[in-house]
C-alpha cells in the first residue's frame, strides 16, 4: 500500500477537499479527522477560510496538535472565542458554510442516526444522541461526515432511528467519497486500491455511480501538510483505519 495514500490519510485529505475558499467551517467534539483536515487545508492550500472549532477557537494557531479535538490549545492565538450558542446561532442564521459532524448510521439520503442501534424501546446499543448535530445538520449550508470503516452496518437502507434531518452533502470512508446529488448520496470516487464493485458490496443502499472514478492521489502539499501535523504517525496509529 502506498505510504502517501494510506486509509487514514485518505479520510483526512478527502475531508479537507470539501473545504472551500473564504467559507466558515466548523469541526466538533470527538472529531479528530476533521480537525486534522481543517489544519491540513490551512497548510496545504493557497487560499484561506475561517476555521472554527468546538474548543472555541476562530482561526487559531495552536502551539501543538492535540489528541483531543476539544483541547483548549485549539483556541490559542484565536481571532476571537466562540461559545456553543454562537456555533448554533451561525447555523440558524444561515452563516455556517460547512460543518463536520459524526454519524453512527447513514442512509441513502445522507440522514444520520446517533441515537440507538436496534429498537428504540429495547436497543442493542444506546448512543450519545443528536447533541449539536441535531441543530447543525439541518441548518448548515453543507455538512460532511466520515467513518473509519465502510460496512453495511453503517451504510444502511433504513436507519434504526433518524436523529438528524437535512442529510450530509459529503461522506468519506477509507474506500470511498460520496456527495449529495438529487437528494441522495452518489459515489464521487473510490480509493485506487479498492473498486466500484467493492464499494457497492459494502454499502447497504443503492447509489448513483455516474462519473465516479478512482480518487485523485494526494498532492505534494497535502502529503507534506499531513506529515507536519502527524510527524510520528500517532494519530494514524490511534485511528487504526484499514481498507478492509
| Average pLDDT over every residue of 225-236 | 94
Rounded to an integer, what distance in angstroms lies between the CA atom of residue 201 and that of residue 208? Answer: 14
Give CA–CA dist 218/94, Å, rounded: 32
> What is the Cα–Cα distance from 169 to 120, expressed in whole angstroms?
27
Q: How far apart are CA 139 and CA 142, in angstroms?
A: 8
Query: Cβ(166)–Cβ(137) under 8 Å?
Result: yes
164-196: per-residue pLDDT in tens?
888 899 999 999 999 999 999 999 999 999 999
| pLDDT higher than threshold 70 for residue 107 | yes
Identify which has the larger pLDDT, 85 or 177.
177
CA distance 56 to 171: 25
Domains of the chain: 3-239 (3.40.1080.10)
Confidence bin at 4 (pLDDT 50/70/90): low
Task: Using CB atoms within 10 Å of the CB of residue 121, give its burial: 0 to 12 exposed, 13 to 18 middle, 19+ buried.
Answer: exposed
What does the pLDDT read at residue 1? 43
- Are 148 and 240 in contact by the 8 Å Cβ rule? The answer is yes
- Predicted confidence (pLDDT) at residue 218 exceeds the cutoff of 70: yes
What is the predicted pLDDT for the residue at 18?
Answer: 98
pLDDT tens-digit map of 10-63: 999 999 999 999 999 999 887 899 999 999 999 999 999 999 998 889 999 999
Q: What average pLDDT does this structure show over 82-95?
A: 90
pLDDT band at 68 (very low <50, low <70, confident <90, very high): confident
- Whether the per-residue pLDDT at 119 is higher than 80: the answer is yes
Global pTM exceeds 0.85: yes
149-177 mean pLDDT:
94
% the chain with pLDDT above 90: 77
164 or 159: which leads in pLDDT: 159
Q: Where are the beta strands (DSSP E) in the chain?
A: 24-27, 50-53, 98-100, 105-106, 112-113, 116-119, 122-126, 142-146, 170-172, 176-181, 184-190, 213-214
Say yes or no to pLDDT of 96 above 60. yes
Q: Which three cell numbers stand for residue 17?
A: 477537499
Nearest to 36 by CA among 1, 84, 68: 68
pLDDT at 153 over 70: yes
Cell of 21: 475558499
Would the pLDDT of 70 be above 80? yes
Amino acid at each position: 500500500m502506498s505510504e502517501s495514500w494510506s486509509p487514514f490519510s485518505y479520510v483526512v485529505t478527502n475531508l479537507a477537499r470539501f473545504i472551500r475558499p473564504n467559507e466558515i467551517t466548523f469541526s466538533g467534539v470527538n472529531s479528530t479527522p476533521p480537525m486534522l483536515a481543517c489544519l491540513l487545508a490551512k497548510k496545504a492550500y493557497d487560499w484561506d477560510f475561517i476555521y472554527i472549532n468546538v474548543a472555541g477557537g476562530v482561526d487559531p494557531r495552536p502551539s501543538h496538535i492535540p489528541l483531543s479535538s476539544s483541547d483548549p490549545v485549539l483556541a490559542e492565538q484565536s481571532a476571537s472565542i466562540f461559545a456553543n450558542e454562537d456555533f448554533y446561532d451561525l447555523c440558524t442564521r444561515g452563516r455556517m458554510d460547512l460543518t463536520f459532524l459524526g454519524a453512527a448510521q447513514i442512509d441513502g439520503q445522507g440522514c444520520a442516526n446517533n441515537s440507538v442501534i436496534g429498537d428504540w424501546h429495547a436497543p442493542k446499543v444506546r448512543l450519545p444522541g443528536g447533541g449539536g448535530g441535531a441543530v447543525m445538520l439541518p441548518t448548515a449550508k453543507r455538512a460532511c461526515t466520515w467513518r473509519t470503516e465502510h460496512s453495511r452496518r453503517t451504510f444502511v437502507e433504513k436507519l434504526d432511528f433518524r436523529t438528524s434531518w437535512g442529510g450530509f452533502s459529503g461522506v468519506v470512508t477509507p474506500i470511498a467519497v460520496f456527495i449529495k446529488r438529487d437528494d441522495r448520496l452518489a459515489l464521487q470516487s473510490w480509493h485506487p486500491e479498492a473498486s466500484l464493485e467493492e464499494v457497492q458490496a459494502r454499502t447497504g443502499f443503492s447509489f448513483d455511480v455516474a462519473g465516479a472514478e478512482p480518487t485523485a492521489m494526494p498532492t505534494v502539499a497535502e502529503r507534506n501538510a499531513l506529515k507536519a501535523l502527524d510527524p510520528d504517525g500517532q494519530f494514524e496509529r490511534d485511528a487504526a483505519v484499514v481498507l478492509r
